[in-house]
Amino acid sequence: MQWPTLHERPEPAGGPPDNPLARTRPTLAIYRPKTPRGSDLSPNIFTDGGPVRTSFKPLLSRQVLLALLGGLALFSGGCAARLTGVARGQELWNGCAPCHGADASGNQSLAAPAIAGLPDWYLQRQLANFKAGIRAYHPDDFTGLHMRPMTLMLETPEDVAAVVSYVTTLTAVTPAATVTGDAAKGKVTYALCTACHQADGTGNQLLNSPPVKKLADWYVVAQLEKFKAGVRGTHPQDAFGQQMRAMSMTLADTQAMADVAAYINSL
Ligand code: HEC
Ligand code: HEC
C-alpha cells in the first residue's frame, strides 16, 4: 500500500502561501488537543479555525500514531493469554480491594463506599466518568480525587467491563448506621427522591438513577453535600450529575441530609 508522502514535500520558501481559505478552514485538532489528556470524553475535533499549519506536524504525528497502533496490535496479540471477563475482573479487583474491601462493602475510614449491589450500568458510568475526569473534576473533591487515579488500572473498556462484571457477582452488605438523623423527617423529604430513586430506593435505570438503598449513610450525606456545594455534578458533560445536583439544592442543610440518610437506612 502506498502511503501519502506529503511530509516529504518541502515547505515553500517564505512559509505557506497566504491563502485566506487556508486561514479559516477548521483543522483536525485530534493531533494537538487543547484540553489535557483524559479531561474530555469526546474531544471536540474542530478548532476555532486558527491559522492552518504546514503539512509537517500532522503527518509526522500520523506516523507516530501508526507506530502506536502497530505497537498496540502487537500488545494485544501478546495478550492473548490474558484473563478475560469475570476472571480478569477478579484479578483487577485486587487493586480495588485495599480501599473498597474484598467483598466491596466499603471502608469508611478511607471514605471508600460499598459498591457491591450497584447495577452494572451505574458502575460502568461512574468508572468512565472518573476516568474521563467528569467525576472528581472539582479540585475540592478530595475523596473523588483518591478514586480518580485508580481508574488508570483499568486500561481498556474491556477492563472496565471486566471489573464491573466481577463486582456485580458480589452481594450487597447492609451497612451499619453511623449518622444521627430523624428518619420520620427524612421520610417526608424522601417523597421527592422517589420520582427517580423509587419508593423502595432501588433506583430506576430508565431515569439513570442508581439505587440508594444499602448505600452507607455517611456516604449518602457526603455525596449530597458534594452535589449541593457543586463539587459533584457540575462538569458540563455530567448531565446525570447535574440532575442530581438540582435535587440536592432542595435539602436545607446537613441535618436534612442526615435525616434523609436515616430514612434510606430503613428501606
Ligand atoms: C485509594 C483507595 C481506592 C481504590 C484503590 C479504589 N477506590 Fe473506588 N473509590 C474510592 C473513594 C474514596 C471513592 C468515593 C469517591 C467520592 O467520594 O466521590 C470511590 C468511589 C468509587 C465508585 C463510585 C461509587 C458510587 O456509588 O458512585 C466506584 C464505582 C469505585 N470507586 C470503583 C472502584 C474500582 C473498580 C476500583 C479498582 C479499579 C477502585 N474503586 C479502587 C477509593 C478507592
Ligand atoms: C430527577 C431525578 C432525581 C431525583 C428526584 C433525585 N435524584 Fe439522586 N440521583 C439522580 C441521578 C441521575 C444520579 C446519578 C448521578 C451520577 O451519575 O453521578 C443520582 C445520584 C444520587 C446519589 C449518589 C449515589 C452514589 O452511589 O454515589 C445519592 C446519594 C442520591 N442521588 C440521593 C438522592 C436523594 C436523597 C434525593 C431526594 C432528595 C434524590 N437523590 C433525588 C437522580 C435523581
Q: Could you tell me the three cell numbers for 109?
A: 475510614
In the chain, alpha helices (H): 20-24, 56-78, 85-93, 97-100, 120-132, 142-147, 157-167, 183-197, 217-229, 239-248, 254-265
User: What is the reported pLDDT for 13?
Assistant: 57
Nearest-CA residue for atom 9 of ligand 2: 244
The domain locations on the chain are: 15-78, 82-173, 175-267
Ligand 2 shell residues, CB under 6 Å: 125, 189, 192-193, 195-197, 207-210, 212, 215, 220, 223-224, 240-241, 243-244, 247, 251, 260
Can you say whether the dihedral through the CA atoms of 97, 103, 108, 113 is positive or negative? positive
Mean pLDDT of residues grouped by 10 in the chain (267 residues)?
47 51 42 42 40 40 42 42 88 97 96 96 97 95 95 94 97 94 97 97 97 96 97 96 96 97 96
> Cα of 77 to ligand 1 centre, how many Å?
31
* DSSP designation for 199: T
pLDDT of residue 51: 44
Half-sphere CA count of 208, side-chain side, radius 13 A = 10
- How far is the C-alpha of 179 from the C-alpha of 219, rounded, in Å? 10
Query: CA dihedral defined by 140, 143, 149, 154, rounded to 10 degrees?
Result: -140
**For ligand 1, atom 36: residue with the closest CA:** 96
Inter-CA distances, 193 with 31, 46, 149, 198, 256, Å: 44, 40, 31, 7, 13
Of the options 3.30.565.10, 3.40.720.10, 1.20.1260.10, 1.10.760.10, the CATH number for the domain spanning 82-173? 1.10.760.10
Distance in angstroms (rounded) separating the CA atoms of residues 224 and 234: 13
Amino acid in position 17:
P
The Å distance, Cα 240 to ligand 2 centre, comes to: 8
Of 86, 94, 99, best ligand 1 pocket probe by most atoms within 8 Å of the beta carbon:
99
Topology alike, domains 82-173 and 175-267: yes
User: What is the CATH code of the structural domain delimited by 175-267?
Assistant: 1.10.760.10
Degrees to nearest 5, angle at CA 126 with 120 and 129: 135
Q: What is the distance between the alpha carbons of residues 263 and 143, in angstroms, rounded to a whole number?
A: 24
**Per-residue cell: 195:** 420520582
Structure letter (DSSP) for residue 103: T
- Prediction pTM value: 0.77
What pLDDT was estimated at residue 18?
55
